[in-house]
A and B are shown apart, each in its own frame.
Chain A
Amino acid sequence: MKYLMFVCTDAQPDTDKENEPDIHAWVAENDARGRRLQGSELAPAAAATTVRVRDGELLLCDGPFAETQEVIVGFDLLECADLDEAIEIARAHPMARAGRLELRPFAEPQR
């Protein structure tokens, strides 16, 4: 199954930048095992552009579409046998401790 993993954090992260865990080991391991197909850190939410078309008119907003305490700071596309495997991968991600991760399966089960 394919899962899109949203890497989320509070709008004002409460973790110490200096002590932020190193993500490279996590990426290297899951890339090597073929479980991470793609992924990236994202530019700050302030760089987001929200696009809508209403009554044929293009509406652009600067900033993310949802004003929440959390922002999506990155994503990873995972290929896993099932949810339990995805959870095991996610729990090892540094941001599981410093923020939160959302596992969203693709709509069509890829089994």
Chain B
Amino acid sequence: MTPAPGRRPAGAGAAASAGVTVSASTAASAGVTVSAGAAASAVEAAAADAYVRIVAALIRVTGDWALAEDCAQEALTLALQRWPADGVPANPGGWLMTVARNRAIDTLRRASVERRKLDELAVLTRTATHPAGHVDAVGEMADGMVGEVVDDRLRLIFTCCHPALAMEARVALTLRTICAVPTADIARAFLVSESTMTRRLTRAKTRIADAGIPYRVPSGRALTERLPGVLAVLYLLFTRGYTAGGEPAFAAEAIRLARLLGQLMPDRQEVSALLALFLLQHSRHDARRDADGDLLPLDQQDRSRWDHAAITEALGILATIRQDGPYALQARIAACHATAPSAAATDWQAIASCYDELARIQPTPVVELNRAVAHGYAHGPAAGLALLARTRTGGRLDGYPLAVAAEADLTARQGDHDRAAALFRQAAALARSEPERRALLHRADDLSHQG
């Protein structure tokens, strides 16, 4: 794979970070119709929509991932050079597709690749004059599958998230190929060097070719089996952006992808449930930390700083869901918090029954723990402690700081402040991040002062 210059068309300042500068003197001598800045934002706007379509279509036709990414990026580079002088074309996405496709044809001709791929690329030429949305449909007809129109981007998502790839490879490949996140940023999030991540991505792409992982959206039973895996990748991507120290932009990418997946598979309710969950979690983004950057618990957050537009959108989505799966239940729990006027006015009864249902279909230790906490608020600390004790039998939550913190919180609410303070210190000793540790010690100190 060519070490592609990292570029993120979707994000803010894509053109600026692209390492492409439009020479003012060149632009002036050419009799500029648009300013370099305007052209750059036009490239950015077109790229946000077109980039993944171009990459996905070129992979489908050529089967060559590196070629597809290189050609798409070359098209963006050329747009940044040309558009300031020539003006932004009427159909920017089509223009970019044509350029990328021409590059692919040139490269493949030089490599004297088989006729079939060149013929299929020619189909992309004709369709490139149409709005980008039509490209996939006509491309599909070239495959002889008229009637079943599958978006190339959907194919790309399912291929990047194929269960025959390791989970970490799926997340990295999704970020790189679908979200166009620079390899260096992905490497940072995975705590590895850029060259290690480059090798890992290359290995994943090689594996796709060697193992025979298809570039296709599964159908029937296979789709039902595979969709949860795709959603799990999105969820992991989101939590990487959400947890302390994660790459904040990944949460936004996960939301964008969930939206795209929802558009492409509108009849799959678990997809929209996941989007609702993301929107609700992310709505607290600006209120989650104090001035020192430490995480704030829900009851201490300034609720006016929550993103109420996102909350409203999520509630609208939840209203359309008829059968609740795990993501819908988690979203409903998040919605109870998001709509409570204050922490004290939270509907814990509703939250506790959502957790009952969630524990029934997904009986993991962490779900059981949260269920115990919810019951502690809904039905009193004694009920919570009893459930917690049952959950911890067999050592299933040993060494898990949040389990100790939950016991500490419930104990404090029962009135035993000394024991609660000791438990909070015990939880702090287990904490996995510095802000989490500070927050737990803070609780312990407060209780010690109250006596």
| A contact residues vs B (CB 8 Å cutoff) | 1, 3, 80-88, 103, 105, 107, 109, 111
Complex contacts, A83 vs chain B, CB 8 Å: 162, 164, 211-214
Complex contacts, A3 vs chain B, CB 8 Å: 212
B210–A81 contact, CB under 8 A?
Answer: no
Does B209 lie at the interface of the complex (its beta carbon under 8 Å from any beta carbon of A)? yes
With A and B bound together, what is the CA distance between A1 and B211 in angstroms? Answer: 9
With A and B bound together, what is the CA distance between A3 and B164 in angstroms? Answer: 15
Complex contacts, A109 vs chain B, CB 8 Å: 209-210, 212
Which residue of B has the minimal Cβ distance to A86? Answer: B212
With A and B bound together, what is the CA distance between A31 and B368 in angstroms? Answer: 49
With A and B bound together, what is the CA distance between A82 and B209 in angstroms? Answer: 10
| Pairs of residues from A and B, 5 with the lowest C-beta to C-beta distance, nearest first | A82-B214, A83-B212, A1-B212, A82-B212, A83-B213
Q: Could you tell me the dominant secondary structure of chain A's interface residues?
A: mixed
Does B222 lie at the interface of the complex (its beta carbon under 8 Å from any beta carbon of A)? yes
The minimal Cβ–Cβ distance linking B208 to chain A, given in whole angstroms, is 9
- Using an 8 Å CB-CB cutoff, how does the interface string of B211-238 with A read, 1 for contact, 0 for none? 1111010100010000000000000000
Complex contacts, A103 vs chain B, CB 8 Å: 211
Which residue of B has the minimal Cβ distance to A2? Answer: B212
A-B contact pairs, 10 of them (CB 8 A): A1-B212, A82-B212, A82-B214, A83-B212, A83-B213, A86-B212, A105-B210, A105-B211, A105-B212, A109-B209
Complex contacts, B162 vs chain A, CB 8 Å: 83
The minimal Cβ–Cβ distance linking B387 to chain A, given in whole angstroms, is 37
- Using an 8 Å CB-CB cutoff, how does the interface string of B183-221 with A read, 1 for contact, 0 for none? 000000000000000000000000001111110101000
With A and B bound together, what is the CA distance between A87 and B209 in angstroms? Answer: 16
With A and B bound together, what is the CA distance between A83 and B162 in angstroms? Answer: 10
Given A83-B211, A84-B218, A109-B210, 4 additional A-B pairs, CB 8 A: A80-B212, A84-B213, A86-B212, A107-B210
B210–A88 contact, CB under 8 A?
Answer: no
The minimal Cβ–Cβ distance linking B62 to chain A, given in whole angstroms, is 13
A84–B214 contact, CB under 8 A?
Answer: yes
The minimal Cβ–Cβ distance linking A70 to chain B, given in whole angstroms, is 20
The minimal Cβ–Cβ distance linking A100 to chain B, given in whole angstroms, is 15
Which residue of A has the minimal Cβ distance to B210? Answer: A105
B213–A82 contact, CB under 8 A?
Answer: yes
Complex contacts, A88 vs chain B, CB 8 Å: 222
The minimal Cβ–Cβ distance linking B219 to chain A, given in whole angstroms, is 10
With A and B bound together, what is the CA distance between A3 and B211 in angstroms? Answer: 9
The minimal Cβ–Cβ distance linking B156 to chain A, given in whole angstroms, is 15
Which residue of A has the minimal Cβ distance to B218? Answer: A84
B211–A84 contact, CB under 8 A?
Answer: no
The minimal Cβ–Cβ distance linking B59 to chain A, given in whole angstroms, is 14
With A and B bound together, what is the CA distance between A1 and B210 in angstroms? Answer: 10
The minimal Cβ–Cβ distance linking B161 to chain A, given in whole angstroms, is 13
Complex contacts, B211 vs chain A, CB 8 Å: 83, 103, 105
With A and B bound together, what is the CA distance between A107 and B222 in angstroms? Answer: 26
B210–A84 contact, CB under 8 A?
Answer: no
With A and B bound together, what is the CA distance between A81 and B212 in angstroms? Answer: 8
B222–A84 contact, CB under 8 A?
Answer: yes
